[in-house]
Structure 1
Amino acid sequence: MTRLGMWGVLAALLVPFGLAAAPALTGTVVQSSVNMTAIIMFVIFVGATLGITYWASKRTRTASDFYTAGGGITGMQNGLAIAGDFMSAASFLGISGLVFASGYDGLIYSIGFLVGWPVIMFLMAEQIRNLGKFTFADVTSYRFGQTQIRTMAAISSLVVVAFYLIAQMVGAGKLIQLLFGLDYWIAVVSVGLLMMTYVIFGGMTATTWVQIIKAVLLLSGATFMAVAALAAFDFSPEEMFRQAVEVSPKGDAIMGPGSLVKDPINAISLGLALMFGTAGLPHILMRFFTVPNAKEARKSVFYATGFIGYFYILTFIIGFAAIVLLSQNPQFFKPEALAADGTVIKDQLITGLLGGTNMVAINLAEAVGGNLFLGFISAVAFATILAVVAGLTLAGASAISHDLYANVIARGRSNETTEIRVSRIATLCLGVLAIGLGIAFETQNVAFMVGLAFAIAASANFPVLVASIFWGKMTTRGAMIGGFAGLFSAVGLTIVSKAVWGDVLGFTAVNAEGVAVPVGLIPLDNPAIISIPIAFFCIWFFSILDNSERAKIDRAAYAAQRIRCETGIGAEGAASH
């Protein structure tokens, strides 16, 4: 694959996640050659996963099979699947690029993503498994009015899924366009059809194994790259850090904080969104129902935390090693970044890299493993996106069929056959919508979308979920108003932030130099520091003021919920707990 082609891959993958500054995606991609290794590996992956889908379709007969793989996934398998669902191509490529450019500070995203998992493991995993059945709305609506809470939970889930899907479809479409030389719309349609095939025919069983395969591939690729890079330093991290300090134009500054995030308020807001957003993502929470009992749910998070933590350690090594190793390979830099003798100019190490810092992991893959490993990493990037898309689609379809149709529209009177049929129709509709939005947003900078998804999950889902489990005085009214307050405040504050108000809607202001620059109505890039407290306050305030008959029922039901929550008595799989 050409340098320009790989640059396009990275632009497609990283812009949607907001992990690196990048221009809007353009609709024109130059394709002068293809990476046959990547194509062969891609075909092998697709063939294997379609085979798994056929096998899974034979085992998917009941609603439990479709939504939760019959609860037959082990803790270890589910931990790998959660890791596969959570570890993104942007994490791999974006975080390693941030470490390359900013050193120690580049870990802010990986720490933010990772610290949410102990919260889930120690605070929520067993309780969610004991109270729920198919979706996290089962938990939040356990003792409250079904219609109100499930409607709110389904709406917030679908908003999170929609923003995630747009970003993933744009990235996947660009990647396939580059690998095969297809038109963008054909690439997006192809990805959408694959995703719908996995979910419609294989349900959670097929989705789970796609995620497991992807996790193994990504961890294997990152491990090989990190080990091969460390070998250049005789496996001495100390030597790697010493040489990185010598080579980097920032010198000793790369070994300390402060070079990437200088505004503490924005840093805290971002950290809150990443940490609590993780604990409110519907496609992640749904995975706790695929295991037989609460003990296995806790094991799932334990294994997932280990895999994800290990993965982020690898990105840290890759980023620091790349500072030294890429500086020794002038072919990865622009001509103007090279001195007369062909060596890389120190001050041009970061700004002169072909494709920018987003290219760090890709360039390092070629540097340590040649074209074969470069092709493998390209195929893994596609597998990563496809696994996430399948999980998101299943979560969205479940919100429509199980929460909205079965429990709100049919009021619990639907049968399993009808519910599965509705879920498959919902998957088809979500797939068509994702394809349409992916094509419509091709040329847009969608950097804010995943950040907004995390902010909404942290502001609308997480407060309601935690309060429903641990606060006995919470009422249906408080949950409804608090959940919608978190949802609308997160969306509204994001719209008036610079990422949307300035960069997307085009509002500008003239700075001190007389230059028009994009601006927002608020100084925050991420709304979580405001929207999360708003949600919790509304839950508390409107619950304590609620003296309705429904509120009395809600509070009286808490004792029975607490027993099931802590012991698993009455939960599916309780006998094996």
Structure 2
Amino acid sequence: MSTQLVSLATAETQVGNPALNIAIFGVFVLITLAIVVKVSRGNRSAAEYYAGGRAFSGRQNGIAIAGDYLSAASFLGIAGAIAINGYDGFLYSIGFLVAWLVALLLVAELLRNVGKYTMADVLSFRLRQRPVRIAAAISTLAVSFFYLLAQMAGAGGLVALLLGVKGDWGQRLVIVIVGVIMLFYVIYGGMKGTTWVQMIKAVLLIIGAGIMTLWVLAKFGLNLSSVLGEASKTSLESGGKDLLLPGNQYKNPIDFISLSMALVLGTAGLPHVLMRFYTVPTSREARRSVVWAIWLIGLFYLFTLVLGYGAADLVGGAEIKAAPGGVNSAAPLLAFALGGEILLGIISGVAFATILAVVAGLTITASASLSHDVYNTIVKDGNATPEEEVRVARIAALVLGAVAIVGGIFALGQNIAFLVALAFAIAASANLPTILYSLFWKRFNTRGALWSIYGGLVSAITLIVFSPVVSGKPNDPVTGKSPSMLQGIDFHWFPLDNPGIVSIPLGFILGYIGTVTSKEYNAAKYAEMEVRSLTGHGAEVATHH
């Protein structure tokens, strides 16, 4: 391993050449802004703004879903987790990928047939509109907010590292700039502009990761076994763990099962992923888009296996941990080890693009929920014009963007994986039970939906607040700091890092109890929903109202 790399990894300033990195970032931002301006002319109607005019093919939407889903946590976080923990780190990849089978088999086509623009459209179709839409909007905002915090904090840390920005004020400025660019994409571009940004980013990310994967394999004679073996050997020789054995990260199997439940079941309840199904013209295209997404996301997660183990051998666990970005710097350091400053600059630009695209997708989802579910249905009793809705959505995006910027500044240096896992746990606990009951259970009613959403939401957030992730983990012998969010205090009583194993079943149970203790039952409305969800009959009419 080159001495130049080690000295870079342990330096406190930046990795690579800041001027080159800024130039690559600048080129990417200018190109995507030009594309957004070009494709977004005539973004006036609600269908144009929320669903891109339903003009995207299954293939285009599948690429955009991959762009929406492969966040900074996937590219930087999983590669780092594999480099440090080996087998246990790769289980994140498996969990995120298997989750798509749940989305494909249970929700994609049915949601596309029933809804118009948001998750609440589906939930309120056969239930009482006002209370259900308010509950769905609250849970959409909760999931989107935690996801946004993670991405914004990640953007601040990553870009500051790569541009050599020193001190808290520099990182705060970076977060503000990321927020402003993202707001332009969303407010001017709507879903159409955001979708094109996500498609470009997905292609760049998969090509970039693919090139690095082939490069790593070429160094080991195109033999995956030697990559894994050498990485484990290097780790053991430097006093680290055997990266081929399970149990490096999760000593407690119940903790692992809880995290797996959140990852596998969370995707089918993530509002920003569900909203993408409305951008295609037919349910067949909705199915096709998920198949495309599964292939692209699966391919990417296979790349993470090689990138993680490659970084463990070619960079080394100690160097990765000592770098300014910590575990998240594994992929950029590997790029530097392979191709020097140029490859590092390109990979960093792609990582930055990743954050921008995901943040834009989240913001448009949350703003659509506020304008379509809260403003139109609750404030205006369903009488708002599409133009009014779009105007309110743009104002909501501005407010949400400001909140995300402020939240990202406060979340700087916090545990990003914690925030993402929290978003998944809330989605699986509050949204998924209600979606599945709405689509498949004849007897389901309004009380069941409210108990399920609020019960899942409150239990997930409460258990996380009182978990060791927030307080009470012992200090790390290397850094001398506790891995918990709050240092020096301990008020945790829930033993697991992720609440999924408790809060997800609780969401289902509360939905069941709420339903059977209420007399409300509308057989005709369920029959109408069942026909529409399975055949799509009436869905096309609904989209043009």
TM-score (norm 2): 0.90
Which runs of 5 or more residues in structure 1 are unaligned? 9-28, 335-349, 509-517
1:530 is matched with 502
Alpha-carbon offset, residue 252 of structure 1:
9.9
Alpha-carbon offset, residue 505 of structure 1:
4.4
1:561 is matched with 529
Does 1:89 pair with 2:58?
Answer: no
Check 1:4–1:94 CA distance in 2 against 1; reply closer, same or farther (3 A cut): farther
Counterpart pick for 1:168 among 146, 151, 154: 151
> 2:288 is aligned with what amino acid?
K
Deviates more, 1:155-164 or 1:564-573: 564-573
2:476 is matched with none
Does 1:235 pair with 2:222?
Answer: yes
Check 1:7–1:219 CA distance in 2 against 1; reply closer, same or farther (3 A cut): farther
CA contact (8 A) 1:365 1:377 kept: yes
TM-score (norm 1): 0.85
CA contact (8 A) 2:9 2:324 kept: no
Check 1:573–1:314 CA distance in 2 against 1; reply closer, same or farther (3 A cut): farther
Check 1:449–1:100 CA distance in 2 against 1; reply closer, same or farther (3 A cut): closer
> 2:140 is aligned with what amino acid?
S
Check 1:251–1:495 CA distance in 2 against 1; reply closer, same or farther (3 A cut): closer
SS in structure 2 at match of 1:429:
helix
2:477 is matched with none
CA contact (8 A) 1:294 1:568 kept: yes
CA contact (8 A) 1:507 1:520 kept: no
1:78 is matched with 61
* Separation in structure 2 between the aligned mates of residue 406 and residue 7 of structure 1, nearest angstrom: 54
Does 1:216 pair with 2:165?
Answer: no
1:552 is matched with 521
Alpha-carbon offset, residue 272 of structure 1:
0.7
> 1:297 is aligned with what amino acid?
A
The aligned runs of 1:303-452 (5 Å cut-off) are: 303-326=292-315, 356-442=326-412, 444-445=414-415, 447-452=417-422
Residues 204-223 of structure 1: CA distance to partner in whole angstroms, max 9, x if unpaired? 01100111111111111110
Does 1:126 pair with 2:94?
Answer: no
Check 1:129–1:306 CA distance in 2 against 1; reply closer, same or farther (3 A cut): same
CA contact (8 A) 1:4 1:30 kept: no
2:256 is matched with 267
* Separation in structure 1 between the aligned mates of residue 53 and residue 176 of structure 2, nearest angstrom: 30
* Separation in structure 1 between the aligned mates of residue 528 and residue 375 of structure 2, nearest angstrom: 27
CA contact (8 A) 1:195 1:390 kept: yes
* Separation in structure 1 between the aligned mates of residue 16 and residue 487 of structure 2, nearest angstrom: 36
The aligned runs of 1:83-162 (5 Å cut-off) are: 83-162=66-145
Alpha-carbon offset, residue 481 of structure 1:
1.2
CA contact (8 A) 1:37 1:376 kept: no
Does 1:477 pair with 2:477?
Answer: no
Check 1:228–1:270 CA distance in 2 against 1; reply closer, same or farther (3 A cut): same
> 2:498 is aligned with what amino acid?
N
CA contact (8 A) 1:281 1:457 kept: yes
Does 1:202 pair with 2:189?
Answer: yes
Check 1:245–1:159 CA distance in 2 against 1; reply closer, same or farther (3 A cut): closer
Does 1:66 pair with 2:49?
Answer: yes
Check 1:6–1:563 CA distance in 2 against 1; reply closer, same or farther (3 A cut): farther
* Separation in structure 1 between the aligned mates of residue 431 and residue 9 of structure 2, nearest angstrom: 37
Check 1:246–1:195 CA distance in 2 against 1; reply closer, same or farther (3 A cut): closer
* Separation in structure 1 between the aligned mates of residue 276 and residue 110 of structure 2, nearest angstrom: 13
* Separation in structure 2 between the aligned mates of residue 91 and residue 84 of structure 1, nearest angstrom: 11
* Separation in structure 1 between the aligned mates of residue 277 and residue 313 of structure 2, nearest angstrom: 42
Cα RMSD for the two superposed structures: 2.6
CA contact (8 A) 2:33 2:185 kept: yes
Residues 529-550 of structure 1: CA distance to partner in whole angstroms, max 9, x if unpaired? 1111111111111111211xxx
SS in structure 2 at match of 1:70:
helix
* Separation in structure 2 between the aligned mates of residue 535 and residue 475 of structure 1, nearest angstrom: 15
* Separation in structure 2 between the aligned mates of residue 236 and residue 558 of structure 1, nearest angstrom: 55
Alpha-carbon offset, residue 441 of structure 1:
3.0
2:475 is matched with none
* Separation in structure 1 between the aligned mates of residue 64 and residue 507 of structure 2, nearest angstrom: 30
SS in structure 2 at match of 1:498:
coil
Check 1:505–1:39 CA distance in 2 against 1; reply closer, same or farther (3 A cut): closer
Check 1:33–1:107 CA distance in 2 against 1; reply closer, same or farther (3 A cut): closer
Alpha-carbon offset, residue 5 of structure 1:
8.5
